[in-house]
Amino acid sequence: MATRKARIIAVVNEKGGVGKTVTVINLGAGLSLEGKDVLVVDMDPQFNATRGLGVSLGQDSPSVYDVIKLPEPVPARSAIVKTAWEHLDLLPSHVDLSGVEVELVNEPGRENRLKEALTPVLDLYDFIVVDTPPSLSILTVNVLAFASEILVPCQTQPYAYSALDELLETISIIKEEMNPDIRILGVLATFFDQRTRVSNKILESLRRDGRFQDKLFKTVIRINTTVAESAYYGKPVVFFRPSSTGAADYLALTEEILS
Ligand SMILES: Nc1ncnc2c1ncn2[C@@H]1O[C@H](COP(=O)(O)OP(=O)(O)OP(=O)(O)O)[C@@H](O)[C@H]1O
Ligand SMILES: [Mg+2]
């Protein structure tokens, strides 16, 4: 078998609650349904992606924290768990991850911890999809140093859009200083509500914006209560209720990324 090397898609937006985690777990699930081997990496100490994939860690189970910590990190393979679904693995998060910023502060190469840890598993997967916290901490910098592509969810709600400037600036710094090959895969309009003028207006201005016209995904993620409900049950919506608009939108996004 030819060796493969995973495409690494980081889902990033410093703004909270824009649909990062839901996008990570449903894109991961969608890709796995297409027969791709997928690893979801949860780099957020809130561990919502871990919960959203129905995983609860035992007291002594290793997490991504143990994989990137210093000294004596554990190999990524020993912390990766299988989810309930075929082709879909998870490197879970843990609240301890919130201490990493302080713990690694004097460590040289601290922004490359995730990359170093996951390089040995790159050929096991077709896709690695990474969730990030809503901040520009050392955790997000580790993700940006490791990723090949960035997906930016943007709420079609007031103010969401203006926060993108800062993010684009951050990405250009990362590109210059540590990861020259990183590129924006796309901007994803989320929380779209057809009935509201503001949602339509923001979608329209995203479509017209010169900075990422060609980067805006054709797929738009609509508001759908089933999405939030499925998270509560620890299942991606594409598995929880395949007939929902939430599932349809995320499967369309998967298709768009694969085509
Ligand atoms: N399309 C949608 N329709 C309805 N609810 C949604 C949708 N997408 C996400 N949600 C809900 O909105 C909330 C925020 O979504 P999510 O957790 O994915 O955002 P986030 O960007 O990861 O947030 P944080 O920055 O806190 O990590 C969650 O309760 C989620 O279930
Ligand atoms: Mg999240």
Domain chopping of the chain, boundaries: 7-258
Q: How many CB atoms lie within 10 A of CB 184?
A: 17
- For residue 3, the CA-to-ligand 2 centroid distance in Å is 32
Global pTM reads: 0.97
Q: How many CB atoms lie within 10 A of CB 258?
A: 12
| Mode of pairing for the β-strands spanning 7-11 and 149-155 | parallel
Which atom of ligand 1 lies closest to the CA of 46? 27
pLDDT digits (tens, 9 = 90+) for 71-121: 999 999 999 999 999 999 999 999 999 999 899 988 999 999 999 999 999
Which atom of ligand 1 lies closest to the CA of 13? 21
We find that the CATH architecture of domain 7-258 is 3-Layer(aba) Sandwich (3.40)
pLDDT digits (tens, 9 = 90+) for 185-210: 999 999 999 999 999 999 998 888 87
pLDDT digits (tens, 9 = 90+) for 235-245: 999 999 999 99
Q: What is the largest CA-CA distance in the chain?
A: 54
Locate 75 and state its tokens.
Answer: 């190999």
For residue 1, pLDDT beyond 60: no
Q: What is the dihedral of CA 170, 16, 116, 178, to 10 degrees?
A: 0
Task: Give the closest residue to 189 by CA, choosing from 179, 200, 181, 178.
Answer: 200
For residue 162, pLDDT beyond 90: no
| Mode of pairing for the β-strands spanning 81-82 and 88-91 | antiparallel
Q: Ligand 1: does its nearest atom lie under 6 Å from the Cβ of 254?
A: no
